[in-house]
Copies of this chain bind each other. A is one copy, B any other.
Amino acid sequence: MRTVAKQAGVSYQTVSRVINEASGVAPETRSRVLTAMRELGYRPSLAARSLARNRTEIVGLVLPSSVDLTFADAHLLQMVGGVDRGVSDNDYSTLLASPKESEPVLSAFRRLVRQRTVDGVLIEAGMGEEGVALLVDAGYPVTVIGHTSLDVPSVRPDDESGAYVAMQHLLALGHRRIALIGSENPGNLAVAARRSGCDRALADAGLALDMSLVERGEWTIASGRAATERLLDLPAPPTAVFAFNDSMAIGTLQVARERGIEVPRQLSVLGFDDTPSAALLTPALTSVRVFSAEQGERAARTLIGILRGMTPPSSPVILPSQLVVRSSTAPLTR
């Protein structure tokens, strides 16, 4: 910078002013500095700037280490894409900060705190709340992508109304024996919201949930299969299955096919998340779309807004979800 200053015949401070587009520099001087910068191929050092300003213009992104990179994680990729868009549009950069597979998740957060290399952090809700708390305690601005019980800014899909609309869809098709897979995971707030959407739809129709048709699920194809096996073995099996994510719905489709049960004629199947694969299945899966990329982008904007001094939103930002009807659901036939 000093070199540029000399070449342009000004002081380094003036160069700094030009770089930061600060006012108070004569147009003629500015252009002289600019050409000097160009001639010397000068590039400012982000490190020095970070040191002086005490901020890096980098935000961290913590998401589950995708050990088993199943297709379900397509949601994550979209989120990452959205985050990066929101971040780079604001002239920040995104630093990946997932835990190593060999370490406890919390240490990823600790590392982030220790290294002091980011100004704020975006956290996928699946990472758990201790980590979020840890960062907040360390004074980091934070935004959570997904549900959180903590009092921090967050962006999430409208799971409740997504599930509500999905359930209404099944009810409108005439289904009454509707199974739920994955609704019994206590402590998972997304699940709770979806479940409550289901309950509301049933209540609106003057019905109640048949608890014998409610199965746990671990979000994997395998657990979807297992749950479906149990459901279909019931004396009075369901006529529709609402799985709380697409992977488990895929498990349902597989088992149904193996048993020669035709979907959707004999069994309607509904998923959640609307993974890109959903449209490719046979039959194409009806699902609830959650707009992962938009969530990521919105979260990024929120966080950077906070970093820039705006007051954080006092309540979670809720993005609409949307039922995508395909060919895995059909009217009840008797």
Contact = CB atoms under 8 A, between A and B. Distances in A.
A65 B94 CA distance: 14
A71 B280 contact: yes
A234 to B, nearest CB: 26
Contact of A45 (B43, B51, B84, B101): B51
Given A69-B276, A74-B71, A280-B250, A46 B96 contact: no
A100 B91 CA distance: 10
A96 B83 CA distance: 10
A44 B50 CA distance: 14
A208 interface: no
Contacts of A98: 81, 84, 88
Interface in A61-87: 61, 65-66, 69-71, 73-74, 76-78, 80-81, 84-85, 87
A48 interface: yes
Contact of A81 (B56, B66, B275, B281): B66
A97 interface: yes
Interface stretch (A8-16, A108-116, A174-182): A108-116
Given A117-B93, A280-B277, A280-B280, A56 B47 contact: yes
A47 B45 CA distance: 10
Contact of A69 (B44, B77, B113, B277): B77
A204 interface: no
A81 B97 CA distance: 11
Contacts of A77: 66, 69, 73-74, 76-77, 80
A248 interface: no
Contacts of A95: 58, 93-96
A100 B71 contact: no
Given A44-B114, A69-B74, A77-B80, 10 more contacts: A43-B113, A45-B51, A47-B47, A47-B50, A69-B276, A76-B77, A85-B101, A88-B98, A277-B277, A277-B280
